[in-house]
Each structure stands twice: as structure tokens, then as C-alpha cells.
Structure 1
Amino acid sequence: MKEKKPRLIPREQLRQFIKENNLTSVADIQNTLKDLFAETLQEMLEAEMDHHLGYEKHDVKNKETSNSRNGHSQKTVTSEFGDVEIGVPRDRQGEFEPAIVKKHQKKMPAIEDQIIALYAKGVSTRDIQDQLQQLYGIEVSPTLISNVTAKIMPLIKEWQNRPLQSVYAMVYLDAIHFKVKQDGAIVNKAAYMVVGIDLEGHKDVLGIWIGENESSKFWLLVLNELRNRGVQDILIISVDNLKGFSEAITACYPKTEIQKCIIHQIRNSVKYVSYKDLKKITAALKPIYTAASEKAALQELDQFEADWGGKYPLIIRSWRNNWDELATFFKYSPEIRKLIYTTNIIESYHRQLRKVTKGKAIFPTDEALLKMLYLATMDVLRKWTGRIQNWAQILLQLTVHFPDRVEIR
């Protein structure tokens, strides 16, 4: 049985408090608590000053004399209960540094935490205003919300530049697209994402970059930044079929094996297919990528060409041209195949981000987009606590495939 939490105020005192303050509504309670908060905070500040000056309870005369010299400075502090006016004790000798409310502090951190938490969930600025007004009776402006969320930019910069592991077993590269205001126009921007699995089997988001429409040139910049942050080697990279992707990867990590996403390849293939043939084509492609070996897969591709090559030659050409990087996964065990044959790991992460960003049709700036993606990513990372399933077996396989590049500690 759950232990009952003790009352902060005895029932009779609480009833007397309600009666004395004539509390008959939620608004009455909130206004009274606002005054009580201000008075309590004021008393704490006075007690802090008394402690600083070394007063005892009986030393009233000296206290009054010194306080008349030191005085107070008025300050407005934003709290859960609204803006409150307090008098901050001043020590004219300049030795007193308040610990409860700092000299230049204008807001109580709980409200800022509320704003950032709501922003991280994709709540719009207007809805944040409404929620704080309804819950606490606080009026906050869009500028205040922007200023509060802007405080996380140094955290983003630190996170984006943090050192990374020297070796990653698998890395997934993909971008999602958003509309952002720029120079008075609305343009499409790509958010470039990198997810890595280290040699301990843990997933991590290695970085987020905001750029123009997705291009291999920008991906080259991203890969170079990973190198500069300490990533010396990547065993396998899983990507979509963006033109120039392979060249960008090879330029930075020439020993890395590239696996093009099978699901993306199928999507590209059915672009050429009439609706009446769609189910037949997808069914005919399945034996290719589910084959037990590359040799068996090539036989299935030959059969597909015999059946459908005359009607859909572009499908055959696409599979043949990309075969070397589509077939990479065939050399590995089922556990590794499952991890690399698609970009599902990063696409699952993207789905979590879209849950947060779906309420934002247009972002006012690149910075606003980056702030929301970062905060949503922090929520995702809190859930990525365990290792990849069957990682011990996967790691043993990797030591066989890459004996000079993987060390078991």
C-alpha cells in the first residue's frame, strides 16, 4: 500500500486560511498564492541577508540601523503564479550576493522549463501562451518564448561539436524536409541527420545540420565534420539512392561498405509501373532481396527480367546499375542483414520528429527549426537506453568480417 503523503499544513489551519482569505474560486486561490509566494520569497531574501550580516534574533536594534543604510532594490520576478514585485535587500558594501534570486535574475526557472518542455513537444507559440495563461494566469509574449528557447542554442552548439567515437559499426544517413522562411520567401530546407551504432551496440544521433535541398555536396560537408569530430572509421553506411551519395562517402571513408536501402529501391522501381501491375511487380521483386545468397538473388533478378524486362526495362536497368551496393547485405548473417538492408532505424527516428513538427507548417528561421529538432531528439535519446538486440553475436560477426578494424575489449 502506498504511504500517505503528510500534509504540509494541518487541516484546521488550511480551513482557517481559506476562510480568512475568502477563497471561493480557482482564481481566488491563484491570486492568493501569488501574494503568498511573493511574501514567502521576500522573507527568504530577508533571512538570507540577515545570515550574511550575522544577525541573531535578539539583535533587532543593530539590524534596523544597518538595514536603513543598506535598503532594498525593487525587482519584478516572473513565477508560476505571475509577475510579483519583491524588494531585494542591498548591501551597500557590495559583499552580498543573493543565492535565492540572483542580482540580475528576472524569471523563476520553473516557468522557463515549462516553456521549453512545451516547445519540445511541438506546441505552438500561441498554444504555449494559452496554456500558461490558463494554468498560471501568466501573460507571456512570443518574444519571451523565443528568448527562453534561444537559451538552448549554446547547448545545441556544444552537442553538435562534441567528440564522437573513433569507430562506428553502422551509420545511417538521411534527410527530412521542412518549409522555412528566408529573405521574405518560403523555401524548402533539408535537415540532414546522422544516426550511428557504436561498437558497444548503442544508438546515438551524431548530429543535425540544416541546409538547402538535399545534395551529395552537403553530405560531403557532413561527413568531413564527422571526421573532424573524431570518427576515424565506419564499417557500414546505410543510405538511400541519392545521386552522388556513394562518391561523397568514398571520398571521406574509402574503406566503408555502402548498403543502399532496398525499400528505397523498390519505391523507385514502382514509379515506372502502372497501377494494375503494381501488386504483381512488388511480389515479383520480393524473391530478389529475400534470397539466401547473392548468387540466388541474381538468379531471381534474371527471372524478373525474363518476366517483366520487356515491359519495364527501366526497373531492370536501375537494379543492375545499383546492384553492387544493393547486394552488400547478402554477405552477412540475418542479424546484420536486418540492421543494414534498409534505413529503417533512421526513418523510425524521423517519425518521432514528425510527431513533434507536424503542427508547424512553416518555421520562421533555420534556428527555430534546429531548436525544435534538437529538443525532440533529446526526448528520443532518453528512450534509447539499451543495446541493439543480439549485439554480442553481431559483434563477433563483425570481428570476422573486419579483423583489422574491430577490436573486442
Structure 2
Amino acid sequence: MVVCDGLTGLPDAVTTVWPRTVVQTCIVHLLRNSFRYAGRQHWDAIAKALKPVYTAPTEAAAKERFAEFADAWGARYPAIVRLWDNAWAEFVPFLAFDVEIRRVICSTNAIESVNARIRRAVKARGHFPNEQAALKCVYLAVMSLDPTGTGRKRWMMWWKPALNAFEIAFDGRLAAGRK
């Protein structure tokens, strides 16, 4: 499974290398891109109108909710309707998953946060005499995200239901990767 934030060509590259990969668009990025076409005064109403679409239990229900959204907002903001129509194929895999998986994959914000922390640490250092020094810098940047280690317990509790749902959804492919 890959959650993309709209980078052109990334889904094709991933599915070329790993054909069984499920490519999912980042829901948060899709919402942010929707707000780009709307006036600030309508952001809350649009977010409220789109929530039933991405929280729908099935694709058919999401299509119905999206039709309602398009009826209500399509005349005023047709670009938002077109954006969701164009992204629908990458959005739909999200709806096939259990709620626990949806909670984990709806956004790429967590990985973007880690990447930003690593970028900041590397930029502050400037250059590295060897690969080992670069790896140490990256390791220290990642470890600084949770310096006391107490967050790890919370993360594990939060991830266990999702891990169980992933194991069922991907029919043992996770366990096969750990051998």
C-alpha cells in the first residue's frame, strides 16, 4: 500500500515495481486541494459537505454523497467537483478498508513530518565525511521525535488494531515480508 500526495508519476512507478500495490491518494491533500478553489468563508461548509464522502462505508454510498456535494456546491465551485472526479480512482481504494486502516492511511502528514525533521537535521549539519555519519544524523533525528520513549507505547496501542486489519486485508502478505 502506498499513500500518495499527488506526485505525478509516483503511482505508475510504484505499480511498475510492485504490481500488487494498492495506491491511495492522501485524503488530507485532496481536501486541501479542494480548498484551493474555494473562498475562505466556505471552507468549513465544504469540509462538512465532503466528510460524508470520505467517511462513507462503501463506494456506492460515497458516490451518492459526492453527488449530493456536487448538487450543492458544483455550480459555485465546479473545479472542486472536477478535482474529486479526476482523483476518484485513487480515492476509491480507501473505502474498501476497515475503519482502523482508514485512520492510519488517510494522510501522509506523519511521514512528511518525519521527513521535515530529517531535512532540518541534515541541513543544519551541512556535509558528512562518510555514509556512516549521514546515517547517524538521520538516526538521531528520528530518535529525537520521541526522546523519552513514552510515545512508543501510545503508538503501539494505536497501531495494533490497524495492524490486525492490515493482516486480514492483505491476506498474510505482512507476515510473509518479515520472514
Normalized against structure 2, the TM-score is what?
0.76
- Deviation, structure 1 residue 363: 5.6
- CA distance in 2 between counterparts of 1:282 and 1:390 reads 25
Correspondent of 2:73 among 308, 327, 346: 308
Deviations 1:60-101 (A, max 9, x none): xxxxxxxxxxxxxxxxxxxxxxxxxxxxxxxxxxxxxxxxxx
- Deviation, structure 1 residue 333: 1.6
- Deviation, structure 1 residue 253: 1.3
- C-alpha spacing 1:280/1:252, structure 2 compared with 1 (3 Å): same
Identity score, percent: 33
- Deviation, structure 1 residue 304: 0.9
- Deviation, structure 1 residue 309: 1.2
User: What is the RMSD of the two structures over their aligned residues, measured on CA atoms?
Assistant: 3.2
Structure 2, unpaired ranges of 5+: none
Give 1 or 2 for the bigger CA radius of gyration: 1
- C-alpha spacing 1:313/1:366, structure 2 compared with 1 (3 Å): farther
- C-alpha spacing 1:390/1:267, structure 2 compared with 1 (3 Å): closer
- Deviation, structure 1 residue 349: 2.7
- Deviation, structure 1 residue 255: 0.6
Asked if the contact 2:3–2:24 (Cα under 8 Å) also holds between the matched residues in 1, the reply is yes
Asked if the contact 1:335–1:390 (Cα under 8 Å) also holds between the matched residues in 2, the reply is no
Q: 1:199 — aligned with what?
A: none
- CA distance in 2 between counterparts of 1:237 and 1:246 reads 8
The SS at the match of 2:53 is helix
Map residues 167-182 of structure 1 onto 2, 5 A cutoff.
none
Q: 1:247 — aligned with what?
A: 12
Map residues 26-175 of structure 1 onto 2, 5 A cutoff.
none
Asked if the contact 1:238–1:342 (Cα under 8 Å) also holds between the matched residues in 2, the reply is yes
Whether 1:287 aligns to 2:58 is no
- Deviation, structure 1 residue 403: 2.4
- C-alpha spacing 1:390/1:275, structure 2 compared with 1 (3 Å): closer
Whether 1:389 aligns to 2:154 is no
Q: 1:319 — aligned with what?
A: 84
- C-alpha spacing 1:286/1:392, structure 2 compared with 1 (3 Å): closer
- Deviation, structure 1 residue 340: 0.8
Deviations 1:330-381 (A, max 9, x none): 1122111111111233134356x28x939x9x7684649x575553123337
- C-alpha spacing 1:365/1:393, structure 2 compared with 1 (3 Å): closer
- C-alpha spacing 1:393/1:266, structure 2 compared with 1 (3 Å): closer
Whether 1:265 aligns to 2:30 is yes
- Deviation, structure 1 residue 398: 3.1
Amino acid at match of 1:240: D
- CA distance in 2 between counterparts of 1:366 and 1:250 reads 34
Amino acid at match of 2:53: I
Structure 1, unpaired ranges of 5+: 1-235
Size of the aligned set, in residue pairs, is 169
Q: 2:41 — aligned with what?
A: 276
Amino acid at match of 2:171: P
Q: 1:334 — aligned with what?
A: 99
- Between Structure 1 and Structure 2, which shows a larger proportion of strand residues? 1
- CA distance in 1 between counterparts of 2:159 and 2:120 reads 32
Asked if the contact 1:261–1:342 (Cα under 8 Å) also holds between the matched residues in 2, the reply is yes
Deviations 1:207-259 (A, max 9, x none): xxxxxxxxxxxxxxxxxxxxxxxxxxxxx112211111211211211111112
- Between Structure 1 and Structure 2, which shows a larger proportion of helix residues? 2
- Deviation, structure 1 residue 271: 0.8
- Deviation, structure 1 residue 293: 2.2
Asked if the contact 2:100–2:165 (Cα under 8 Å) also holds between the matched residues in 1, the reply is no
Whether 1:405 aligns to 2:173 is yes
| Structure 1 runs of 4+ with >4 Å offset | 362-368, 370-374, 384-387, 390-393
Asked if the contact 2:22–2:93 (Cα under 8 Å) also holds between the matched residues in 1, the reply is yes
Normalized against structure 1, the TM-score is what?
0.36
- CA distance in 2 between counterparts of 1:258 and 1:264 reads 14
The SS at the match of 1:389 is helix
Amino acid at match of 2:168: V
